[in-house]
Amino acid sequence: MPRPWLTGGAAEIAVHARTREQGYRPPADWTWLARVREAVSVPVVANGDVVDLQSYREIRRVSGCEQVMIGRGLVACPDLALVIQRSCSGEAAAAMGWESLHPWLVDFYAQVRERVVDRHVPGRLKQWLAMLAGVYPQARILFDQIRRQTCADQVAELLEQGSAAQLLAAPSSTC
Ligand SMILES: Cc1cc2nc3c(=O)[nH]c(=O)nc-3n(C[C@H](O)[C@H](O)[C@H](O)COP(=O)(O)O)c2cc1C
């Protein structure tokens, strides 16, 4: 039976299907999303462990939710939402290639440099590359190249070279 007071007047709620103790430990239990959906009278946005088209379809099926929120999956595969949208409308769907993603990394790095003191800048890029590496082999190569670098200028140089032939020749992405 719906219990409206549970949502405290919210128009909709996003639910990450894990407890605080579970942290990010996989797997998220999506059956809880269906239980929450039945217990409240506002739309529930399903969240937790959506990393590709298959997991998107599966969370929709198990939860019965119409809307999905994606966190880390979008950091690792920045156009995943577009891939999903295209696939849902019957269009061909493939993640962007490294050559399209690379300028975004360069722009990200420039923006971080505007906001963060130099010694913390390389770490921000490493964090993102580490997450991209599961999808883009080129991100792993670049990560390994800058792993020990602490100088923001040197990392910028290596990043600029990140669209080089060696990286473009790596196998394509898989999200
Ligand atoms: C870059 C990033 C920033 C996040 N910021 C917040 C936040 O400000 N507040 C919050 O409650 N959760 C935040 N989260 C957690 C997500 O909302 C989400 O619940 C969690 O990552 C699980 O979903 P996922 O498996 O799709 O990553 C963040 C997650 C990521 C990846």
Atom 19 of ligand 1: nearest residue by CA position: 16
- Whether residue 92 is contained in a domain is answered as no
Give 123 Cα–ligand 1 centroid separation in angstroms. Answer: 19
- Residue 124: burial class (beta carbons within 10 Å; 0-12, 13-18, 19+): middle
Is the confidence at residue 174, as pLDDT, over 70?
no
Q: Ligand 1 within 6 A of 78 CB?
A: no
Residue 47 DSSP class:
E
Is the confidence at residue 16, as pLDDT, over 60?
yes
The residues, any chain, with a CB within 8 Å of residue 11's CB and separated by 6 or more, are 42, 43
Give 45 Cα–ligand 1 centroid separation in angstroms. Answer: 13
> Are 107 and 153 within one domain?
yes
Q: Per residue in 116-145, pLDDT tens?
A: 999 999 999 999 999 999 999 999 999 999
- Whether residue 64 is contained in a domain is answered as yes
- The span from the CA of 162 to the CA of 126, in Å, is 13
Tokens of 61: 């099926």
- Give the chain's domain count: 2
CATH code for the domain in which residue 139 is found? 1.20.225
Residues 131 and 72: beta-carbon distance below 8 Å? yes
Confidence of residue 170 (pLDDT cuts 50, 70, 90): low
Confidence (pLDDT) at 167: 65
Other Cβ atoms less than 10 A from the Cβ of 125: the count is 24
Instruction: Please provide the average confidence, as pLDDT, over all residues in the chain.
Output: 92
Mean predicted confidence (pLDDT) in 88-104: 92
- Whether residue 91 is contained in a domain is answered as no
> Are 125 and 161 within one domain?
yes
Mean predicted confidence (pLDDT) in 64-81: 97
Task: List the domain range (segments joined by +) for residue 55.
Answer: 4-70
**Long-range Cβ pairs for the range 3-6 (8 Å, 24+):** 3/39, 3/40, 3/41, 4/40, 4/41, 4/42, 6/39, 6/40
Is the confidence at residue 47, as pLDDT, over 80?
yes
Confidence of residue 166 (pLDDT cuts 50, 70, 90): low
Mean predicted confidence (pLDDT) in 58-68: 98
Atom of ligand 1 nearest to the CA of 16: 19
Confidence (pLDDT) at 5: 72
- The span from the CA of 163 to the CA of 106, in Å, is 10
Atom 7 of ligand 1: nearest residue by CA position: 71
